[in-house]
């Protein structure tokens, strides 16, 4: 069980690689010789995270354990095939019972290159008193809201919008309460929360923002993977 003073994390990695045009779990797709999940776990550790629980597809547990064998204080458990929300809940259960003010992060393996500084900012904000913290970037595209038939019904101001990244950080008691109260949504992907901050919002909690980073891009499609490879190559040469 993590001590009161250290942070811990759930690293979600149970997604498929269909949009990345690969067979098997997306988190095991290699980036410069290492799987995406390894890079994500490495980044969390560099940002000051202690215990890490990785939620992986039930059929690939041993592959994940092998891929992450050189990262200490890390546990791999089976995630859910129904929703990300349910996978996070399983990861929280595997962490055990923590002190109420323990800092717990939720991160996506699909964001392998998140700089440690982003993780540090999130941890510091929660440790400083925030119940929930998310890293964000300004929106540069014009956004539209549309109805079910695809007709535009509104244009929100970009200045009112942000793009959300991970890791998201929380006080342990805040995140546990949010998951307990929203648990019924997790069984249905269409109704499940797409991020944990949304569950906190649903119980009336306040969510603070900190600066994200463009390098914390989400690897979803082949072009994303190609860009991530370029970033790794640049970092290595530097």
Helix axes 84-95 and 172-181, enclosed angle (nearest 10): 130
pLDDT value at residue 193: 87
Percent of the chain with pLDDT over 90: 84
pLDDT value at residue 37: 98
pLDDT value at residue 139: 95
With 0-12 / 13-18 / 19 or more C-beta atoms within 10 angstroms meaning exposed / middle / buried, residue 59 is exposed
pLDDT value at residue 132: 98
Q: Please check whether residue 13 is in contact with residue 79, taking contact to mean a CB–CB distance below 8 angstroms.
A: yes
Alpha-carbon gap, residue 16 to 199, rounded angstroms:
23
Q: Which residues contact 91 (CB under 8 A, 6 or more apart)?
A: 10, 11, 12, 53, 54, 55, 77, 79, 106
Could you tell me the pTM of the whole model?
0.94
Element at 63 (helix H, strand E): helix 61-67
pLDDT at 77 over 50: yes
Alpha-carbon gap, residue 178 to 112, rounded angstroms:
26
Domains of the chain plus CATH, in order, are: 8-237 (3.90.550.10)
With 0-12 / 13-18 / 19 or more C-beta atoms within 10 angstroms meaning exposed / middle / buried, residue 93 is middle
Output b/e per residue, 203-234; b: 16+ Cβ within 10 A: eebebbbbebbebbbebeeeeebeebeebbee
Alpha-carbon gap, residue 176 to 82, rounded angstroms:
19
Alpha-carbon gap, residue 93 to 139, rounded angstroms:
35
pLDDT at 3 over 80: no
- Closest of 137, 140, 195, 142 to residue 170, by C-alpha: 195
Q: pLDDT per residue over 55-75, tens digit each?
A: 999 999 999 999 999 999 999
The arithmetic mean of pLDDT across residues 112-121, rounded, is 98
Q: pLDDT per residue over 146-167, tens digit each?
A: 999 999 999 999 999 999 999 9
pLDDT value at residue 24: 83
pLDDT value at residue 216: 97
Alpha-carbon gap, residue 121 to 86, rounded angstroms:
26
């Amino acid at each position: 069980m993590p001590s009161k003073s250290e942070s811990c994390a759930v690293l979600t990695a149970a997604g498929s690689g269909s949009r990345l045009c690969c067979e098997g779990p997306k988190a095991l797709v290699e980036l410069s010789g290492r799987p995406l999940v390894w890079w994500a776990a490495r980044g969390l550790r560099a940002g000051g995270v202690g215990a890490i629980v990785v939620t992986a597809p039930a059929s690939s547990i041993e592959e994940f354990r092998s891929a992450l064998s050189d990262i200490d204080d890390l546990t791999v458990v089976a995630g859910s095939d129904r929703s990300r929300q349910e996978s996070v809940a399983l990861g929280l259960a595997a962490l055990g019972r923590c002190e109420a003010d323990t800092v717990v992060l939720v991160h996506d393996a699909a964001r392998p290159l998140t700089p440690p500084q982003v993780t540090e900012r999130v941890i510091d904000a929660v440790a400083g008193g925030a119940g929930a913290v998310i890293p964000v970037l300004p929106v540069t595209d014009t956004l539209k809201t549309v109805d079910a038939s695809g007709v535009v019904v509104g244009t929100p101001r970009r200045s009112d919008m942000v793009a959300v990244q991970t890791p998201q950080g929380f006080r342990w008691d805040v995140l546990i309460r949010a998951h307990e109260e929203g648990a019924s949504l997790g069984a249905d992907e269409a109704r499940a929360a797409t991020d944990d901050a949304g569950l906190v919002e649903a119980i009336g909690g306040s969510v603070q923002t900190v600066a994200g980073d463009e390098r914390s891009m989400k690897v979803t499609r082949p072009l994303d993977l190609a860009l991530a490879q370029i970033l790794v190559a640049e970092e290595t040469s530097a």
